[in-house]
Chain A
Amino acid sequence: MDRSWYTRLTIIVAVTLGTLWMLVPTYYSFFKLDRADRNNVAKLQEVLPAWAPPAKYRLSLGLDLQGGIHLVMHVDMKTATTKKVERRASSMVSWVETKKLGALETPDVNPDNNRVTLTVKDPATAEAIQKGLLEAFQDFSLVSRDGAQIVLEFDSAALAGSSEEALDMAILRIRQRIDKWGVAEVQISKLGTDQIQISLPGQSDPEQVKELIGTTAQLEFRIVATDSSAFATMYQSTPPENPALIRLVQQGDSPDSPPGPFLESEDNKALLAYVAGKVAAPQKVLTHCVQEAGPKRKCAKYQTYLLDAANVPGDLLKGAWFPGAPNAQGQYYVAFEMQPEGAKQMGELTGKNVRRQMGIVLDDNVMSAPTIQSEISDSGTITFGRMGPEAKDYGKLLATTLQSGALPAPVTIGEIRQVGASLGDELIKKGTLAAGIGLLLVVLFMALYYRVSGLVADVALILNGGLILAGLAAFGATLTLPGIAGFVLTLGIAVDANVLINERVREEIALGLSARKAVDAGYDRAFWTIFDAHVTTLIAGFILMFTGTGPVQGFATTLIIGIIASLFTSIVVTRLITTYLVHGRNSSTVSV
């Protein structure tokens, strides 16, 4: 036994202990918690011993094993874009009229190529109108002009922008709605340019999913109450059960925070439940989501707004846009236009409430609450104090919010995979049984066929199995049904490495080498073959991981972790033990 043997022994013991340690949260979540609490990280953290890894490092099950809904939504960009072009075309007509450049016939929109054909009533004015329109409507370019006929095309760059806008908007809305249900581990991500992927573990009610796309976004403008001391009063008279979760704040920290005092919490559901029934109608309480920095736009916390009854519905809005550049005073702004009926109502609402805040409410969430500077009727602007990239981001979001009330991008479901919890439980049982049988057969076979060397390989195999589970837990990956199949397959590949080594050792012994030399030669000669074989499988695994979705990705993750673990267990671990058996005990024979 040389020193390097002891070094390797230390490493292996450390890895084994680390593996067991890493599996502690998983053990607790499956065997110490009730079935219903399996996804409850907070509860798991409570029961975990202090020395264990944090609860988030537990092995979580894929949607196919624990039940839940995976869905892909499709944003119908074509309809959304056609609508947008139509709206822009009709504002061209009104723009030409207000600028007194002449008059246009009803524009003709071709939905296939997003072209607008405008016919000028008096051909003499066509030149001036064309010039003016191209300056004012920069998202359009000139295709052709034939006498009194001007053909404009909606710019493809603007098109891409509006697709992205619609997608962002849809994600925002979906997140708001899911937040309202209080689902624990929701994952929402973009897929390509017009799809959204959502995972809802533990959910099995498709009716709820329909709610996501079922109703169109509701936008409204509602005046913010001047006196919000009602929050302070209710906080004192009936304090919340958990004052750490629901707090009373005097002064907001974000430009969109409500005027103080207001309530604040990380849990929207709890917050709404607390205020429910505590404010007399017609006033009502809605929340504002303070977004985390970063592309995910997750809500960090929620703050309460007290709103009066006076409002204008958002579907009376004609359009909104963010020019992306500051106005003459150096302030960024979002411009919007109202439909004729909307202009009347908006004039009334803002005329009476100058100097007060007007909440822009989308699906019961206060997005922003600008102060009304003067009466607004058919068009207005919202300026905001933010600067630089933050202003651009905010302006885009605000314009999209307004636009979504005026023009929702239709969302349809592209893919739903829904697994009931009972099926999931059955699949876990069958899956573990199947994997168990496979593992047992392989272990038995190896022990019978290679005797002691087979047992050594079995030890490595079991360690490999543990490493896969611990690896999945450590990387926050999920175990899926195909993942279980991948687990079984990986064990087959891991055993193959030991078959290669042992066959090689047998050959060397047949050639007349001593036990020690045969073992060394066997391991050395087999190493590169095993390495190559592992790397090629690893390549297939990585490609599967990057191209696959959902459960198939689970298969790839398991395969990748298993293959890497196998290089360690079937070469390093078995060699250490075999070296001890042959060198350490100075044995002249090796049992293969």
Chain B
Amino acid sequence: MQIIKGKTNIDFISKRKIAILVSSIVNIAIIVGIAIFGFNFGVDFAGGTVVELKFKSAVTAQQVREGAVSGGLHDPTVQGIGSADENSFILRMGGVTQLTPESEAAAEAAIRGLGEVVSVSKNLDNGLINVRFKNKVEPEAIKTAVAGSGTGVNEVKAIGESASGFDYQVVSAGMADKVKTALKSGMAGTEFEVRRIDYVGPQVGQQLRNKGIMALLWAMLAILIYVAFRFDLKFGPGALLAMLHDVVMVAGYFLVTRREFNLTSIAVLLTIIGYSINDTIVIYDRIREEMVKYKGKPLPEIINIAVNDTLARTILTSGVTALSLIGLLIYGVGEIFDFAAAMLVGIVVGTYSSVYIASPLVIWLDERAHEKEAHGGATAKPA
């Protein structure tokens, strides 16, 4: 069996200008889009709480949302996952702890009602209120007061005393608890199971995001060094641009679909980098081989031969890898579905970029080198 019968002779190179133009426009549009709209960051990066619930009876996302709001949750996003008969939902909230911008003022007022307060400082990221009272106060009384103002309290610690007063730290309870109590009161009569809780503090989220970006940059750098070492330096820029092109395009998938951008997305991008360079290398290897074989032939022709010769392989590999993802696309839920879908986008653009971006760039760089040489030669001759 063969996909491509015999040898093909498609002129890929002549279409390189239009391909590069279209790619550049799409890439720039995606980058601008990211700058304007941003990603839909998942809790991994944005911080917040995600709770996955499975109901025992049929309910709709709308019902879950209304129940959550009437139970006292502030603006949760509710999304159904899996097939409709699974009754599984994901609730996402911005806050990590119950000390939110909406509830902090009430909590402070409740604390101030207990006695003369020397100072109050709040740390919303960690859900902490540090307060210094002039006189000794019962931690239990602080707990009751703050809980009464709508912010659930995990614990109130007495953290010492000094000349200017007595210190206490209020540790507010996590948002996940509130989800349970809110839904129990807002959707009385329905039974549900909490299947998963993801809770990421904003500081941790930021760290994870920075680490993710650093990982991408390091990977590109390391691969580039390898390519420069194994191939000619003039293959480097093409490989790099093809890599960037693919990363931007896959990022575009997350931008356009508004799917959650999270740690798994970073894993996809890293894999795409590997895959993209993989594809590029196969063609570059062939170009190098043909350069030796057809010495003297113009480079564009050589590249056309190389691309045509590897065409069957290029299509097959993409096809086979895509084939292996089909199972994940059908049975993958949530993150894994996104993984497979984004990989699929990456495979398609990776194949395209190896042919239309990476290869033409070699020509362009080669032409530049020749021009330079010609100029250098011209100025050198008279002497």
Known: A422-B195, A533-B281. A495 touches B204 (CB 8 A): no
- The answer to whether B324 touches A544, judged by C-beta atoms less than 8 angstroms apart, is no
Residues of A within 8 A of B277 (CB): 533, 536
Residues of B within 8 A of A315 (CB): 158
- The answer to whether B330 touches A437, judged by C-beta atoms less than 8 angstroms apart, is yes
Segment at the interface with A among B65-73, B210-218, B296-304, B366-374: B210-218
Least Cβ distance of A542 to chain B in Å?
A: 8
Known: A413-B174, A485-B328. A206 touches B197 (CB 8 A): yes
Chain A 478-504 against B: per-residue CB contact (8 Å), 1 yes, 0 no?
000110110011011101100110010
Return the contact of A503 from the options B226, B285, B316 (Cβ within 8 A).
B316
Known: A79-B130, A433-B327, A437-B330. A540 touches B270 (CB 8 A): yes
Residues of B within 8 A of A528 (CB): 285
Residues of A within 8 A of B313 (CB): 499-500, 503
- Kindly identify, within residues 435 to 464 of chain A, every residue whose CB is under 8 Å from any CB belonging to chain B: 435-439, 441-442, 445-446, 448-451
A240 and B281 alpha carbons, distance in the complex (Å): 67
Known: A86-B162, A438-B323, A543-B219. A414 touches B274 (CB 8 A): no
Least Cβ distance of A284 to chain B in Å?
A: 25
- Kindly identify, within residues 154 to 205 of chain B, every residue whose CB is under 8 Å from any CB belonging to chain A: 154-155, 157-160, 162-164, 167, 169, 171, 174, 176-177, 193-201, 203-204
Residues of B within 8 A of A543 (CB): 215, 218-219, 222, 270
Least Cβ distance of B119 to chain A in Å?
A: 10
Return the contact of A536 from the options B155, B214, B281 (Cβ within 8 A).
B281
Residues of A within 8 A of B226 (CB): 532, 535-536, 539
Tell whether B128 is near chain A: CB-to-CB under 8 Å: yes
Known: A416-B198, A417-B198, A419-B196. A488 touches B320 (CB 8 A): no
Least Cβ distance of A114 to chain B in Å?
A: 15
Nearest CB in chain A to that of B163: its residue: A106
- The answer to whether A206 touches B219, judged by C-beta atoms less than 8 angstroms apart, is no
- Kindly identify, within residues 195 to 230 of chain A, every residue whose CB is under 8 Å from any CB belonging to chain B: 195, 206, 210, 213-216
Return the contact of B204 from the options A414, A422, A437 (Cβ within 8 A).
A414
Residues of A within 8 A of B328 (CB): 434-435, 438, 485, 488
- The answer to whether A482 touches B323, judged by C-beta atoms less than 8 angstroms apart, is no
- Kindly identify, within residues 524 to 566 of chain A, every residue whose CB is under 8 Å from any CB belonging to chain B: 525, 528-529, 532-533, 535-537, 539-541, 543-544, 547-549, 551-552, 555-556, 559
Nearest CB in chain B to that of A209: its residue: B174
Tell whether A265 is near chain B: CB-to-CB under 8 Å: no
Residues of A within 8 A of B214 (CB): 547
Residues of A within 8 A of B207 (CB): 192
Tell whether A72 is near chain B: CB-to-CB under 8 Å: yes
Q: DSSP majority for the B interface?
A: helix
- The answer to whether B154 touches A507, judged by C-beta atoms less than 8 angstroms apart, is no
A506 and B313 alpha carbons, distance in the complex (Å): 11
A214 and B155 alpha carbons, distance in the complex (Å): 7
Residues of A within 8 A of B194 (CB): 420
- Kindly identify, within residues 11 to 47 of chain A, every residue whose CB is under 8 Å from any CB belonging to chain B: none
Known: A419-B196, A442-B320, A442-B323. A434 touches B130 (CB 8 A): no
A434 and B215 alpha carbons, distance in the complex (Å): 28
Q: How many residues of B contact A (CB 8 A)?
A: 90
Residues of B within 8 A of A492 (CB): 320-321, 323-325
Tell whether A431 is near chain B: CB-to-CB under 8 Å: yes
- The answer to whether A434 touches B274, judged by C-beta atoms less than 8 angstroms apart, is no
Residues of A within 8 A of B263 (CB): 548-549, 551-552
Return the contact of A529 from the options B1, B285, B330, B332 (Cβ within 8 A).
B285
Least Cβ distance of B228 to chain A in Å?
A: 12
Tell whether A300 is near chain B: CB-to-CB under 8 Å: no
Chain B 299-327 against A: per-residue CB contact (8 Å), 1 yes, 0 no?
00000000001101100110111011111
Chain A 277-307 against B: per-residue CB contact (8 Å), 1 yes, 0 no?
0000000000000000000000000000000
Residues of B within 8 A of A414 (CB): 126, 200-201, 203-204
- The answer to whether B320 touches A74, judged by C-beta atoms less than 8 angstroms apart, is no
Tell whether B340 is near chain A: CB-to-CB under 8 Å: yes
- The answer to whether A74 touches B335, judged by C-beta atoms less than 8 angstroms apart, is no
- The answer to whether B195 touches A423, judged by C-beta atoms less than 8 angstroms apart, is yes
Known: A430-B333, A539-B222. A419 touches B324 (CB 8 A): no
Nearest CB in chain A to that of B197: its residue: A418
Tell whether B108 is near chain A: CB-to-CB under 8 Å: no
Nearest CB in chain A to that of B264: its residue: A482
- The answer to whether B195 touches A485, judged by C-beta atoms less than 8 angstroms apart, is no
Least Cβ distance of A68 to chain B in Å?
A: 11
Tell whether B22 is near chain A: CB-to-CB under 8 Å: no
Known: A74-B126, A540-B271. A449 touches B324 (CB 8 A): no
Tell whether A356 is near chain B: CB-to-CB under 8 Å: no
Known: A416-B199, A540-B273, A547-B215. A532 touches B323 (CB 8 A): no
Nearest CB in chain B to that of A550: its residue: B263
- The answer to whether B195 touches A503, judged by C-beta atoms less than 8 angstroms apart, is no
A506 and B163 alpha carbons, distance in the complex (Å): 88
Return the contact of A216 from the options B157, B174, B200, B323 (Cβ within 8 A).
B157
Tell whether A348 is near chain B: CB-to-CB under 8 Å: no
Q: Which one of B126, B214, B266, B340 has the highest number of Cβ atoms from chain A below 10 Å of its Cβ? A: B126
Tell whether B381 is near chain A: CB-to-CB under 8 Å: no
Residues of A within 8 A of B199 (CB): 413, 415-418
Known: A76-B126, A214-B154, A410-B159. A418 touches B323 (CB 8 A): no
- The answer to whether B126 touches A412, judged by C-beta atoms less than 8 angstroms apart, is yes
Known: A433-B331, A543-B222. A410 touches B128 (CB 8 A): yes
Q: Which one of B2, B208, B321, B340 has the highest number of Cβ atoms from chain A below 10 Å of its Cβ? A: B321
A431 and B323 alpha carbons, distance in the complex (Å): 16
- The answer to whether A547 touches B212, judged by C-beta atoms less than 8 angstroms apart, is yes
Residues of A within 8 A of B271 (CB): 489, 537, 540, 559
Q: Which one of A72, A506, A528, A547 has the highest number of Cβ atoms from chain B below 10 Å of its Cβ? A: A547
12 A–B contacts from the bound complex (CB under 8 Å) = A76-B123, A415-B199, A416-B198, A417-B196, A423-B52, A482-B264, A485-B339, A489-B271, A496-B278, A536-B226, A541-B274, A551-B264
Top 7 nearest A-B pairs (CB, nearest first) are A437-B327, A492-B321, A540-B274, A434-B327, A537-B274, A547-B215, A438-B327
Besides A410-B171, A448-B1, A540-B270, 5 more A-B contacts (Cβ < 8 Å) are A192-B207, A206-B174, A215-B155, A484-B336, A536-B274
